Structure 1
Amino acid sequence: MNRILLNCDMGESYGAWRMGDDEHAMPLIDQANLACGFHAGDPLIMQRSVALAVRHGVSIGAHPSYPDLQGFGRRHLACSTEEVTALVLYQLGALDAFCRAAGTQVAYVKPHGALYNDLVRDDALFAAVLEACARYRRGLPLMVLALADNRRERELAAAADVPLHFEAFADRAYLADGQLAPRRLAGAVHQDAERILEQALAIARGEPFADIDGRPLQLRADSLCVHGDNAESLAVLRRLRAQLDAA
């Protein structure tokens, strides 16, 4: 089995509202994608999430989104490319302040929700996020969706001189081209622990797995995401961590 990292979207609580079980999940992962305040995460949550990641030696990624607290960053907003570059820089800088105060730094950027999905279809938005990464720190990687064919992403990133990390999802259903099945579709989010584990291990091994229509799909990924807000996340992470470490 090829070495693949485990990542999880975290720090997504806000005020009195709690999301996920970060305390127990953090020791099981390699990379934590921390909300930066626009879809979730307030300053205290960000500070505590950074401290938790540092305590467990987990790499910290900024998880910026459209400014959409009410919609949890899952609604598509008509932002200009200039706005997108600025909002990514704003959120990146906010999280990195907490990282620097804790003696570390943001290691990569992974857009959240609708912004993440829009990058697959919009070259100008993709370039805007790449620009934010390049302007913030030379060599700061951007985490993007692993597709059946990522030539487009590689070419745009090469032009911006930004490294890419390719990500696949254990608990999401896929379309035939490797895009995530829209959440409005039945079966778009896997809820069965065995199904999630089976898909995760297939991706880690570089083997085909079934897309949402049952057709074989094969992806090459550097990191594997298990969503922290899935009811089966913690149980799956424990089993997956054990199997990856034993391989």
Structure 2
Amino acid sequence: MSQNEIAISVQGLKKSYKKVPVLTGVDFEVKTGSIFALLGSNGAGKTTIVRILTTLLQQDQGNVIVNGYNVASKPEQVRQSISLTGQFAAVDEILTGRENLVMIAQLRHLKDARQVATDLLHRFGLTEAADRRVATYSGGMRRRLDIAMSLVGKPPLIFLDEPTTGLDPEVRLEFWQIVKELAADGTTVFLTTQYLEEAEQLADRIAILHEGKIIVSGTLAELKQLFPPAKMEYIEKQPGLEEIFLAIIGKKTTK
């Protein structure tokens, strides 16, 4: 695979906090234009990986390349080519929805900031609320605005760190559709999620992080092959990702 076809390359990534190892040798690649889902229990280190990939945290060891740039030596170039949406909406409540978007567009030095804002407000169903202060928005509206802000300037790579936490099922389905459209347009999406159904619905490839390492990585079909055959005999339907995840974690934990 050529360098242009790889959006993220991680080799031997290690990170400890106060001598407590969190990442103990993480390796994976993310193909350009794909949706890559990183799964793991709470505290597994998913957010630590996202923070390193987005230059918010320095790794202890390892080689990390994002959009062709080394995160340690070229952090500014990495930041200019990515966008990050975390678990909590990073919107300014004092400003209106439109003002939030215009501000981000201006910070990214886009020519027609107001038109960019108008287009995104329409796309995310926020036109009617555009000129209301964000403090009056519902949780779902704030999340939609937050994701709209992350798309200003059409970054080629978007990090979504547990982006649908706290959203109701209807808004979550809307969000899934948006992510699918992004990937269809060629945007690379790196997703961490606590909702296994989300990874099942969206991801081209899924990696499971456990005890500081990626223990399995592959398509959903490939992960299904790892489901213990003895258990397969007792279920009529194909195993879901939740069953596969628990079986794989369980297998690894008992060794």
TM-score normalized by structure 2?
0.31
Q: Which has the larger radius of gyration?
A: 2
Structure ranking higher in strand proportion: 2
Q: TM-score, normalised by structure 1?
A: 0.31
Q: Quick one: higher RCO (CA 8 Å, sep 6+), 1 or 2?
A: 2
